[in-house]
Structure 1
């Protein structure tokens, strides 16, 4: 860890805190107030307010607002809340490559068990899908097996994810080539005139052509179903996790004649990566539930009303209406110790043990550490941790049920600048605790400041500590 330059006359930390989010901003300020001695720092509103370029500076702002020139010019005195380059983690198609390369090099890696293999492809329009899937052998083999399978329940289902989308946008389910083609036809432009219009816009854009750069017009056209088509060009397809572990949401609304319906959920885990490179998991975690009771992917509703059916499969609360969001977010460690009977397991018997959450957490820890190491060592061009930076990531995990009845936890994705508002007002104390842990582990050591009130338990669990040789 670096320390403030000894030639600096002013050792006060100048803190530029502007997260541009009314939910997050006061929680960051409260965490600083709790952990930093009052005399050790001063809030500023601009880098221009520094007494000198070498004055100790903490930048905790949105990524686009970070003064990276100042950060790189003052590596021993300036700390920022984001790494410059981290595509190897936060872009789904890059993450897929990161993990595939790591497993090839280390076949015994835990990632082989806890990340579904992916098929990557690029496509602009549905008419080019055949060309894009020329080498998608896994998909074609699955489709072939499905054609000879009369039992719908035994067909292999896949989940399609746009590589650069956020908040669950553009996610679809499919089990055949026809269904995949139908998905892309939904996103195709409506007319040749629109094609020409978009090509003209592309020519004036730095982003490139096709779906990946058609701009705000298409985003507005598709806004109703949560798809931003300007982000749809790179895709991954993965085997769908079925059956997932199903539980009742935190605030169910059962009817007098029936028990609480079981729903699909995922676990949101907050991760602190600091310097080059230590990684911590924040032990308090969230359980985010789908808006509707679970139905299997082969249910008829997926064919008749795709948007409604996906509400049972998508657990990202950003896509839910305000009424659906109520009761959809809870604390992972408050989930029941004993698991309810699960549907669609056939002859499989679920192993329900009181310590199932501890086992899931152990899997999350090992998978997280391996993922960040794979990105740092195997994709160093696309993930470059800096000694004078830290960053909070949101990792999403889903618990599936294996054929032997045991639980297995899968990494879904890695999010930069996660949406903390999903936590809600009632659980905002959890996020403030996260920020206190970030200050303890990411801020105080860099500036060489002792924590206000001394050391205390902060819920941060270290899962990776490697030296990448960056100073």
Structure 2
């Protein structure tokens, strides 16, 4: 039986983001942008008047009713794609970049994404085998043996499925890398000893938990460490601290991609020092990691609105922020097109879905932005209360750009309007509408 169009103009919405910071901001955005006589808030799909009623789900990924979305493609909209590993898993992301560059060598990704070395490893004793095909790493290690400390190439290690900065380490030799994995094994052994007497209430649940941890600590990527990074001098409040840019990206249907202009600058907890200036940089990660979720008492003042950063930075033109934003838009467009066209098994945009991604970029001392990672369901709370208007504005743009057009609520003027806060980075037709 052919799918029926909804006969009612009402939009029934289930908003359950399971986040005390985010939930009220989403609701406020919907009420501010949606016609009051159209929006109907519900707790469950069972409350909808008909199976083909216009329905919006804005929930955590695990809570979405995927079957309803797939069975009602004309009337049911959700806030996540189902398959997007090509973007949000670090080892898949590096493969996406390499595949796209093999066919499009002129892409900006060749300049704005550091090449990655991928490998798999279960135990430190097998590191030699894991690095057999990691030619770039082995070549770097050999060169480093002949160089002074300040001249050596440093690498950053990232577990393929970790987030919030977990598992990130710095190294410049095979000995360093071996020590990192051995320390993880020691930590794991200690944890096993601590919990060996615990009762197992649910064997399946415990197996699943071990599976997640195993997958986190099996796939790894190593990338050249970005040094020197861009640093903003005094009298700026976070002077001489490393920072990254958090950009919010909205992907709509199959496929438009927008870059939200109000961005964040997230600063490390301590003043930057080069890796070789510490006896063990992995004991001093607070000067290298800009993930504010890992900061405790020093987190205060670590988050700034990007456009509030000083115009005057030594060695850079006064328009460096606009130049950075323009480059971020180009990088984003190429990255999502590369995933959509080159990794179709692992990124499948749906016409009746949208998704917000938190995309991180790092600037080097010359002002060149490098893509670090792409996060699904980003941690909006790191924005803090002082800057929550940035997140509020983002959700309002989502309503205008992704939700109202899908349900036929956007006027012709709204559909053709060039938006001040949203820059269109990609507009392609994947033939799935």
Alignment TM class, shorter chain as reference: over 0.9
Alignment partner of 1:242 out of 227, 237, 245: 227
Structure 1 118/251 Cα, relative in aligned 2: closer, same or farther at 3 Å?
same
Structure 1 249/284 Cα, relative in aligned 2: closer, same or farther at 3 Å?
farther
Query: What CA deviation, in whole Å up to 9, does each residue of 1:105-132 have, x standing for no partner?
Result: 1111110000000000111111111111
Separation in 2, partners of 1:368, 1:266:
16
8 Å CA contact 1:249, 1:329 repeated in 2 = no
Equivalent positions of 1:66-215 (< 5 A) are 66-149=64-147, 151-188=148-185, 189-190=188-189, 213=210
Q: State the partner residue of 2:259.
A: 281
8 Å CA contact 2:233, 2:313 repeated in 1 = no
Equivalent positions of 1:16-35 (< 5 A) are 16-35=14-33
Separation in 2, partners of 1:292, 1:124:
33
Instruction: Report how many aligned residue pairs link the two structures.
Output: 424
Separation in 2, partners of 1:318, 1:301:
25
Separation in 2, partners of 1:247, 1:288:
12
8 Å CA contact 2:118, 2:222 repeated in 1 = yes
Q: State the partner residue of 2:421.
A: 459
Shift of 1:407: 2.1
8 Å CA contact 2:268, 2:291 repeated in 1 = yes
Alignment partner of 1:381 out of 328, 334, 345: 345
Q: State the partner residue of 1:393.
A: 357
TM-score by length of 2: 0.92
Q: State the partner residue of 1:438.
A: 398
Q: State the partner residue of 1:417.
A: 377
Equivalent positions of 1:294-443 (< 5 A) are 294-302=272-280, 306-307=282-283, 309-321=284-296, 323-340=297-314, 351-401=315-365, 406-443=366-403
Query: What CA deviation, in whole Å up to 9, does each residue of 1:57-97 have, x standing for no partner?
Result: 00000000100000000000000000000000000000010
Q: State the partner residue of 2:407.
A: 447
8 Å CA contact 1:250, 1:329 repeated in 2 = no
Structure 1 111/193 Cα, relative in aligned 2: closer, same or farther at 3 Å?
closer
Separation in 1, partners of 2:373, 2:192:
37
Q: Secondary structure at the match of 1:38?
A: coil
8 Å CA contact 1:393, 1:418 repeated in 2 = yes
Structure 1 432/244 Cα, relative in aligned 2: closer, same or farther at 3 Å?
same
Shift of 1:456: 8.8
Structure 1 327/14 Cα, relative in aligned 2: closer, same or farther at 3 Å?
same
Shift of 1:386: 0.1
8 Å CA contact 2:58, 2:79 repeated in 1 = yes
Structure 1 14/191 Cα, relative in aligned 2: closer, same or farther at 3 Å?
closer
Separation in 2, partners of 1:191, 1:329:
35
Structure 1 9/99 Cα, relative in aligned 2: closer, same or farther at 3 Å?
same
8 Å CA contact 1:250, 1:328 repeated in 2 = no
Structure 2: gaps of 5 or more residues: none
Structure 1: gaps of 5 or more residues: 216-227, 253-259, 341-350
Structure 1 132/208 Cα, relative in aligned 2: closer, same or farther at 3 Å?
farther
Q: State the partner residue of 1:291.
A: 269
8 Å CA contact 1:273, 1:392 repeated in 2 = yes
Separation in 2, partners of 1:456, 1:439:
15
8 Å CA contact 2:316, 2:367 repeated in 1 = no
Structure 1 360/207 Cα, relative in aligned 2: closer, same or farther at 3 Å?
farther
Q: Secondary structure at the match of 2:355?
A: strand
